[in-house]
Structure 1
Amino acid sequence: MDRDLAAARDLAADLAVRAGRLQIERRETLRVGAPKAHANDVVSDVDIASEKLIVEAIHAAWPDDAMQAEEGHGRPGTSGWSWVIDPLDGTRNYISRTGPWSVCIALYEGDDPRVAVVHEPVAGETFSAIAGGGAFLNGERLTVTGGPTLDKALVGVSFQPNPATKERAGKVVRELLPVCGDIRRLPAALNLVYLAASRLDGGLALDTNLWDIAAGALIAREAGVVLGGRGDDFTTELTIGAAPDLWPELSKLIRAGEG
């Protein structure tokens, strides 16, 4: 089945902006629900409203597509295309007002990512990519080249805040922090797109879900970021990203830290 990928990207970008606007408008009146998988896995009524907005609009445009959505609005499909949606990546930052968050939408054909959008509402930044067509920030192409040495590198760190993953993250950070320039903890999608924009030189994400990284990973790769995990490809268990010159040293260090 053919698909107009530019039209899919444009719709995803429009929906991400609309969801981001809703999140800003409703921040003063949000209601936080019961934790999901663990005490730090929080969700608000704004997460749910944002996902509903995105899912309903995509379903109206492509009713036969499947959807994987974090807050339970997913549905099966018959077209061979599937949308992977995180309506609010960084809910804890959003609720506590301690950092950035984003809206993430990716489109897959089978197992292959084809379109990605990550929108940061406060900064008004929309990162996007079409497979094979490059990565963009608000319409301007992003290209990663080179990278600093590890001792000067700024590295993003993302991880699920459950007890087991925090233990894993602590081991990696103990290896990384003394030898890199500095680290920043970020939601996974922004970690990846900030790599694409060369704001970070390297990054790692531990125990994510597909909706956390699907959009950001395509954008990062299209910008020239090297991505991997324990093997040649990244997984939700371990995602490592770096500028090309930094990749050999950073990936070796992180994999050693994972032991």
Structure 2
Amino acid sequence: MIDQVVGVLRDVAEEIVLPRFRNLAAGEVIEKGPGDLVTVADREAEAALTRRLTDLLPGSLVVGEEAVAADPSVLARLDDPGPVWVIDPIDGTANYAAGREPFGLMVALLRGGVPVLGAIYEPVAGTLSVAEAGAGAYIDGERVAFDHTPVAAEQLRGAVMTRYLPQELREQVTARLPLLTETVPGFRCAAHEYPNLIRSGRHFAMFWRSLPWDHTAGALLIREAGGVVRHFDGTDYDPARPKLGLLICRDSAVFELVRSVLLA
């Protein structure tokens, strides 16, 4: 099924997302909330993905970012025992609306609330990242896995998204960043952050918000590459019950190091 899902992502990107990149008309970019944008391409892409994925798997349900924005009760579908698609039609909408990269399309499939398939497609670069539960993680057709060579806390390199952190926590984390070798502010696009963490050789990424459409596909990719995706309190990420504060790390040892340095 993964090949069929990838085909759907590629088709929707080619038919809807790319033609409007750097070609959005006035009124086609709307602010859903402060700093939270949606474009006509987001909505049309989600509608197309919803139709084509449910055709691919009859009887399946969909939890899409824009559907939830219109009706928050849609989130309850994540608890359905049957197959549920989780869709982010354009992740990195702020970048897309501004005519810049990165941005991507993300789809995950849950069965009984458990992620079994994830696909991330960055259409301009053509980068494709996929994972199936128990079958490994692949980026552009090559199987990928984290290096688990031990590192010291002062050697850590990572991406830290401080934008949504509560002020007190943001000040604490920012003050402790110099204790690490390198930190970057992130790309405002989880569709890029997840595969980039594997390819860049960095050890971790930190988020505050953990919305299912932003993280379900990427979390499966990381876990299948040998990494961990956990909340600040140490519990594993569950898309059906997301909590604020998320660390994506190449292994459990790095998770404990990052937590001890930045969050103690």
Q: TM-score range by the shorter chain?
A: 0.7 to 0.9
SS of the aligned residue for 1:34 comes to strand
1:177 aligns to what SS in structure 2? Answer: helix
Tell me the SS of whatever aligns to 1:107: strand
Task: Provide the rounded CA distance (Å) in 2 between the counterparts of 1:41 and 1:142.
Answer: 33
Structure 1: state its 5+ residue gaps: 1-6
TM-score calculated relative to the size of structure 2: 0.82
Pairwise CA distance, 1:168: 6.2
Could you say what the CA RMSD is over the residues aligned between the two structures, in angstroms? 2.5
Change (3 A) 1:191 1:176: farther
| Cα deviations by residue, 1:56-110 (Å, 9 ceiling, x for unpaired) | 1112122310110011189769871100000111101111234411111000001
Say how many residue pairs are matched.
245
Letter in 2 for 1:45: V
Structure 2, unmatched stretches of 5+, are: none
1:226–1:79 distance in 2 versus 1, CA, 3 Å:
closer
Amino acid aligned to 2:128: T
For 1:130-169, list aligned pairs within 5 A.
130-146=132-148, 148-158=151-161, 165=165, 167=167
Which structure 2 residues correspond to residues 101-180 of structure 1 after superposition, within 5 A? 101-146=103-148, 148-158=151-161, 165=165, 167=167, 170-171=170-171, 173-180=173-180
Q: Answer with 107-116 or 244-253: which moved more.
A: 244-253
% identical equivalent positions: 25
Partner of 1:58: 53
Secondary structure of 1:126's aligned partner: strand
**Structure 2 vs 1, CA of residues 34 and 251 (structure 1 numbering), >3 Å: closer, same or farther?**
same
Counterpart check, 1:35 vs 2:31: yes
SS at match of 2:86: strand
Counterpart position of 1:232: 235
CA contact (8 A) 1:65 1:79 kept: no
Displacement after TM superposition at 1:135 (Å): 0.2
Q: How many angstroms does 1:24 deviate by?
A: 2.2
What is the letter of the counterpart of residue 252 of structure 1? S
**Mean alpha-carbon deviation: is it higher for 43-52 or for 237-246?**
237-246
User: How much does 1:199 deviate?
Assistant: 4.0
| 3-state DSSP of counterpart to 1:85 | strand
Residue 236 of structure 1: how far off its partner (Å)? 4.1
Q: Given that residues 221 and 227 in structure 1 are in contact (C-alpha distance below 8 angstroms), is that contact kept between their aligned partners in structure 2? A: yes
Counterparts of 1:7-22 in structure 2, within 5 Å, are 7=1, 9-21=2-14, 22=16
